[in-house]
Amino acid sequence: MTTAKEEAYDIRSILGQMREEYWQALSEEEAQAREVLECLVFTLGGERFAFETQHASEVIRVPKLIRVPAVQALIAGVFNLRGEITAAMDIRPMLGLPQPEIGAAGRIVVVKSDQFATGILIEAAHGVQGLCCDGFEPAPAARGKRFVRGHFNEEEGSIILLDMEALLAAPEIVVGEG
């Protein structure tokens, strides 16, 4: 028969062991913690692209687009977004990408800059993903890649990170400057 003193000793040793395991697990988690960039991932020109979620306000189905004469070729049309007339832009030519037909999976990503909001036509939206910065490779400076910051090497393949600030400030995008 065990005494109360022996049982108390066992409980203390068990609690001490649990405490050690807990702190060890926490230190392992901290060692594994990685910097992650939260991005909206989508398809353009058959390739996977992304940009930080801070630039996106929403992703919508492609509504009926009204063509507007005498505007930049990038503007595919305009649409009504809850009472606001918003331009839908096809940025694939700016990125040197092929322009396959926007099918049923096509969407518009509504993005906002300091001056305006606009819609960007995409072929498909893959959702918001946390992209690990360990797998990021900066883009070499290239004339045709002025809107590309680099790419992430993911298990599913490469994801190209767009520089949305540069893209939204481009003269081709800003109405009256292109």
CATH number at residue 72: 2.40.50.180
Q: pLDDT at position 128, please?
A: 94
Q: Is residue 73 part of a domain?
A: yes
Domain assignment present for 21: no
> Contact 108/119 with Cβ under 8 angstroms?
yes
Instruction: Let me know if residue 82 belongs to a domain.
Output: yes
* Closest of 131, 111, 116 to residue 60, by C-alpha: 111
Total of domains in the chain: 1
62 has a pLDDT exceeding 90: yes
Tell me the two tokens of residue 20: 């050690």
Dihedral, CA of residue 30, residue 31, residue 34 and residue 35, to nearest 10: 70
Query: What pLDDT was estimated at residue 178?
Result: 44
User: Which residue bears the tokens 């203390």?
Assistant: 12
Q: Higher confidence at residue 13 or residue 129?
A: 129
pLDDT given at position 141: 64
Low-confidence winner among 60-69, 89-98, 131-140 (lowest mean pLDDT): 131-140
Could you tell me if residue 161 is inside a domain? yes
Position 16 confidence tier, pLDDT thresholds 50, 70, 90:
confident
Q: Is residue 116 part of a domain?
A: yes
Q: Does a structural domain hold residue 10? A: no
- Domain contains 13: no
Give the range of the structural domain holding residue 105, as residue numbers without chain letter: 36-169
pLDDT at residue 31, as a whole number: 47
Cβ-Cβ contacts under 8 Å for 105 (sequence gap 6 or more): 123, 124
Q: Is pLDDT of 174 > 80?
A: no
Write down the pTM of the prediction: 0.75
Instruction: Examine residue 78 and state whether it is found in any structural domain, yes or no.
Output: yes
Q: What is the pLDDT of residue 177?
A: 47
Percentage of residues in the chain with pLDDT exceeding 70? 85
